[in-house]
């Protein structure tokens, strides 16, 4: 490759999960330390980072078509950007990307992006660079301080996964489970609060597998970390995602009754309502075990909003087993949920299983599942009408003076008034929609305030 001028502007396009969003923010901060600034809306960036996701079918093919589009647009604009591919497709494909896409200068995996500045120097000098090494902790130690952000911030506390669900690529693209050190997390959370964050969502592929030693040298789990974070002044709300049923413990359940700043929201994937399918997925728990766990959360925090993940059309899934999934949805009455059609991922055991389900059957099942999930989400919103709660404003609404924020149950609430982004406003929920609620600010007399 020819040497090129050092980039002045960048654009990071993150796909997939919140951990990719977090990584995208950290890569942006790294580029900021080199004086490289975000490209303006509609402006061609000198450097484009595709921060990829490997979860969906044809994920890799999508990356190549994105690269093709960028090269074409660059040629028309007479300015081909420096292209970097990061994230899970970079980790899975590595040198293959360099072979198939000559326009790509950098391929960097999710555990190696702290070396982006050096790789950029090489690319500017005309040398292409690939790094899919997995030094997870070293990565975080090498990252710069957190920068000013909105009121809601992400904090990755755990990475990787040792569960090896038969349909999932994450253990191969993100590596083994690691927990970031307690002190580093407290320090980063304080930095985020000083930079304007009022709500922090703790992230991990199995966030509740986080384990470490607290500031007194005692063994601590996620509950211990949450208790410690709750002592940070200025931090008002704490959330965490994504959990695995098998990494839940009594302390974390109890924390939902003990820590006011811990929001009444739990995202706990189940994927299927059939024990046979759960076994074939290697989820290592039963439907009964999962339901008993949720009962414990509801006992500690009766108003807790429950959220789940579902896969329809897993190889061999019968109509009766799909109906088992609909039954668990009706039993739990989820306030929120994500649902997907099964997609065979190269290199995963399930991809070669017999009984692959026809696409039209998957499509029809996903439609029925989403209808049922939508019904329960709407019912949860309707049951919230009349409640007064604090809503944290995250952005402006459609109309002037209108705001959009999140309730403690992670519902989208819009209302009007003289406020600002980041404000925590006492709002009465007055009307429910399937995906959001309308609110009205109320004045809570000081003696009644929290
Ligand atoms: S728990 Fe299963 S689905 Fe979740 S990241 Fe690990 S292997 Fe993937």
Ligand 1 binding pocket mutation candidate from 168, 173, 210, 272 (most atoms within 8 A of CB): 168
User: What would the pLDDT profile of 116-160 be if each residue is shown by its tens digit?
Assistant: 999 999 999 999 999 998 876 678 888 888 876 789 999 999 999
What is the arithmetic mean of pLDDT over 10-32? Answer: 93
- Which atom of ligand 1 is closest in space to residue 244's alpha carbon? 1
- The CA distances from residue 431 to 195, 297, 393, 414, in Å, are 34, 27, 18, 10
pLDDT confidence band for 97 (50 / 70 / 90): very high
Ligand 1 binding pocket mutation candidate from 175, 209, 244 (most atoms within 8 A of CB): 244
- The CA distances from residue 344 to 73, 96, 280, 312, 353, in Å, are 32, 20, 14, 12, 9
Ligand 1 binding pocket mutation candidate from 163, 175, 349 (most atoms within 8 A of CB): 163
- Distance, in Å, from the CA atom of 265 to the CA atom of 337, rounded to the nearest integer, reads 12
- Distance, in Å, from the CA atom of 397 to the CA atom of 401, rounded to the nearest integer, reads 8
- Distance, in Å, from the CA atom of 110 to the CA atom of 112, rounded to the nearest integer, reads 6
Mean pLDDT of the chain: 94
- Distance, in Å, from the CA atom of 96 to the CA atom of 223, rounded to the nearest integer, reads 42
Distance 205 CA to ligand 1 centre (A): 7
Distance 206 CA to ligand 1 centre (A): 8
Domains defined along the chain, listed by start: 9-138 (3.40.50.12160), 145-263 (3.30.750.210), 297-383 (3.30.750.200), 388-448 (2.40.50.140)
Distance 399 CA to ligand 1 centre (A): 41
Q: CA nearest 200: which of 159, 230, 243, 162?
A: 230
Atom 1, ligand 1: residue with shortest CA distance: 163
Burial group, residue 381, by CB count within 10 angstroms (0-12, 13-18, 19+): buried
Q: What is the DSSP letter of 262?
A: B
Residue 277 CB contacts under 8 Å (≥ 6 apart), including other chains: 271, 314, 316, 317, 321, 324
Q: Across the strands, what pairs with 104?
A: 83
User: What would the pLDDT profile of 324-356 be if each residue is shown by its tens digit?
Assistant: 999 999 999 999 999 999 998 888 999 999 999
Distance 185 CA to ligand 1 centre (A): 23
- Which atom of ligand 1 is closest in space to residue 161's alpha carbon? 6
Q: How many helices (H) and strands (E) does the chain have?
A: 14, 21
Question: Which residues lie with the beta carbon below 6 Å from any ligand 1 atom?
Answer: 161, 163-165, 168, 170-171, 205-206, 244
Q: What is the DSSP letter of 257?
A: H
* pLDDT higher than threshold 70 for residue 450: no
Q: Provide the percentage of residues in the chain whose pLDDT is more than 90.
A: 82
Ligand 1 binding pocket mutation candidate from 162, 171, 247 (most atoms within 8 A of CB): 171
What is the arithmetic mean of pLDDT over 44-64? Answer: 84
Distance 160 CA to ligand 1 centre (A): 9
Half-sphere exposure of 182 (CA within 13 A, CB side): 19
CA–chain centroid gap for 207, Å, is 11
Half-sphere exposure of 181 (CA within 13 A, CB side): 10
């Amino acid at each position: 490759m020819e040497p090129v001028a050092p980039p002045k502007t960048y654009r990071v396009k993150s796909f997939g999960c919140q951990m990719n969003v977090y990584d995208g923010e950290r890569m942006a901060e790294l580029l900021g330390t080199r004086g490289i600034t975000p490209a303006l809306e509609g402006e061609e960036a000198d450097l484009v980072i595709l921060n990829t996701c490997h979860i969906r079918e044809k994920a890799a093919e999508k990356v190549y078509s994105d690269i093709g589009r960028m090269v074409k647009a660059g040629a028309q604009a007479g300015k081909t950007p420096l292209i970097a591919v990061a994230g899970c497709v970079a980790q899975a494909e590595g040198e293959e990307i360099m072979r198939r896409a000559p326009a790509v200068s950098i391929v960097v995996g999710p555990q190696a992006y702290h070396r982006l500045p050096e790789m950029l120097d090489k690319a500017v000098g005309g040398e292409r660079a690939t790094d899919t090494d997995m030094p997870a902790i070293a990565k975080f130690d090498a990252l710069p301080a957190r920068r000013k952000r909105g009121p809601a911030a992400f904090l990755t506390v755990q990475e990787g996964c040792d569960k090896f669900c038969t349909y999932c690529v994450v253990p191969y693209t993100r590596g083994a489970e690691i927990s970031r050190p307690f002190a580093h997390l407290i320090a980063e959370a304080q930095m985020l609060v000083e930079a304007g964050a009022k709500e922090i969502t703790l992230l991990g592929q199995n966030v509740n597998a986080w384990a470490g030693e607290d500031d007194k040298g005692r063994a601590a789990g996620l509950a211990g970390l949450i208790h410690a974070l709750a002592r940070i002044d200025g931090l008002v709300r704490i959330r965490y995602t994504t959990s695995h049923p098998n990494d839940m413990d009594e302390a974390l359940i109890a924390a939902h009754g003990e820590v006011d700043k811990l929001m009444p929201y739990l995202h706990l994937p189940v994927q299927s309502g059939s024990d046979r399918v759960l076994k074939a997925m290697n989820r290592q728990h039963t439907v009964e075990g999962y339901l008993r766990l949720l009962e414990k959360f509801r006992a500690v925090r009766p108003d807790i909003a429950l959220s789940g993940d579902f896969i329809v059309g897993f190889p061999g899934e019968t109509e009766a087993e799909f109906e088992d999934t609909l039954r668990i949805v009706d039993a739990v009455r989820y306030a929120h949920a994500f649902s997907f059609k099964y997609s065979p991922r190269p290199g995963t055991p399930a991809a070669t299983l017999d009984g692959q389900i026809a696409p039209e059957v998957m499509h029809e099942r996903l439609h029925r599942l989403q209808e049922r999930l939508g019904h329960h989400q709407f019912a949860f919103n309707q049951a919230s009408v009349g409640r007064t709660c604090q809503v944290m404003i995250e952005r402006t609404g459609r109309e002037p003076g209108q705001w959009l924020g999140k309730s403690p149950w992670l519902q989208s609430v819009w209302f009007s008034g003289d406020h600002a982004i980041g404000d925590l406003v006492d709002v009465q929920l007055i009307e429910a929609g399937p995906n959001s609620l309308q609110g009205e600010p109320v004045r809570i007399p000081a003696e009644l305030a929290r």
